[in-house]
Amino acid sequence: MENKEEKKLLTVKDLCAYLSIGETKARELLHNPDNGFTVRIGNRLYAHRDKVDAWLLRNIF
């Protein structure tokens, strides 16, 4: 039994794969200060996976 823990912070490429979106759209989402899931570490932007999930649920039509 393999216990592989999912990453909590997603890079731009991870976010692209997770949401099935392009890199430009992922960067646009990460640069939006109102999304609530962006984490800045130095100059890098990451998306917090749990907060991305909550954001998706809030924005489903």
According to CATH, what is the number of the domain 9-58? Answer: 3.90.105.50
Which of 18, 51, 17, 4 has its CA nearest to residue 32? 51
Tokens of 29: 């989402």
pLDDT digits (tens, 9 = 90+) for 1-50: 454 578 999 999 999 999 999 999 999 999 998 999 999 999 999 999 99
Domain extents in the chain: 9-58
Beta bridge partners of 46: 39
pTM confidence score = 0.85
Find the helix or strand (DSSP H, E) in which 18 lies. Answer: helix 12-19
Tell me what pLDDT residue 57 has. 94
Cβ atoms 47, 37 nearer than 8 A: yes
